[in-house]
Amino acid sequence: MPQSQIFAFAPVPQATLPIEGTDQLFPVHRVYCVGRNYAEHAREMGHDPNREPPFFFQKNPGNLRSDGIFPMPPLSSDVQFEIELAVCLSEGGDDIPVARALECVFGYAVALDMTRRDLQGEAKKLGRPWEVGKAFEGSAPCSAIRRASEIGHPASGLITLDQNGARRQSGDLSQMIWSVPEQIAYLSQLFTLRPGDVILTGTPAGVGRVAPGDRLSGEVEKVGRLDVEVL
Ligand code: MN
């Protein structure tokens, strides 16, 4: 049956991410993000990680972008970078035990959780949702995915962000308050996880403001590198 007989109008194309070393694409279902998953970053944002555990918010699948470009979004004068490990699932389910969680992981990528910090701050103050600060167009630049079958499941390793050649963020994956398996298990209690889900696992300390012309280089040991030009 031709598509015109199914849909009232042409659907927006499926969001995808490239997979390193193959022409195949990873079809993105949902994008979950962890807030305050590194203690030092929680503190720099004015929170006590001992009293306020990490939590989740979402971006839209179409917010992912892997062409190395970040166009400055409108209506913000404080757009900030947050370098993060992205976990890409090829299996899902409900109530996934921590011990089986890594079986759901297809691979890993390097991503930026770009944030309109001024709009997010206003939303926090007013007790409103975070979408305006977090889920805007192009807000999640992402590298190609490295398959877990090739690189394994990195539980430690350096995670860094350089802005115009200067080191701004530096941490280690082992500093996550909730580990990757714990995040998957916890999320699967709240939502039905599906193949194609992507989890941005939180950012270490050192987040900062970007300006047009900036070059951002993120790196996660054993996973890869993400180079982004701010336009
Ligand atoms: Mn983040």
Going from the Cα of 92 to the center of ligand 1, the distance in angstroms, rounded, reads: 22
Residue 148 included in any domain: no
Residue type (1 letter), 96: I
Token pair belonging to 71: 């166009």
- Looking at the structure of the chain, the number of domains it has is 1
Question: pLDDT, tens digit, for every residue of 30-89?
Answer: 999 999 999 999 899 999 988 888 899 999 999 999 999 999 999 999 999 999 999 999
CATH number where 123 lies: 3.90.850.10
Going from the Cα of 98 to the center of ligand 1, the distance in angstroms, rounded, reads: 22
Residue 229 included in any domain: no
Going from the Cα of 185 to the center of ligand 1, the distance in angstroms, rounded, reads: 19
Question: pLDDT, tens digit, for every residue of 162-206?
Answer: 999 999 999 999 999 999 999 999 999 999 999 999 999 999 999
Residue 26 included in any domain: yes
- How far is Cα 185 from Cα 114, in angstroms, rounded to an integer? 25
Going from the Cα of 6 to the center of ligand 1, the distance in angstroms, rounded, reads: 38
Going from the Cα of 148 to the center of ligand 1, the distance in angstroms, rounded, reads: 22
> Can you give the pTM of this predicted structure?
0.96
Residue 216 included in any domain: no
pLDDT over 90, % of the chain: 93
Residue 48 included in any domain: yes
Q: Which of the 8 DSSP states describes residue 98? A: G
- How far is Cα 130 from Cα 132, in angstroms, rounded to an integer? 6
Dihedral sign, Cα of residue 206, residue 17, residue 179, residue 139: positive
Going from the Cα of 88 to the center of ligand 1, the distance in angstroms, rounded, reads: 16
CB 204 within 8 A of CB 221: no
Q: Roughly how many angstroms between the first and final C-alpha of the chain, as a whole number?
A: 42
CB 226 within 8 A of CB 200: no
Residue identified by tokens 């720099």 is 44
Structural domain harbouring 185? 14-136+154-210
Question: pLDDT, tens digit, for every residue of 82-136?
Answer: 999 999 999 999 999 999 999 999 999 999 999 999 999 999 999 999 999 999 9
What pLDDT shows up at residue 13? 96
Residue 147 included in any domain: no
Residue 3 included in any domain: no
Residue 149 included in any domain: no
> Rounded to an integer, what is the distance from CA 55 to the centroid of its chain?
14
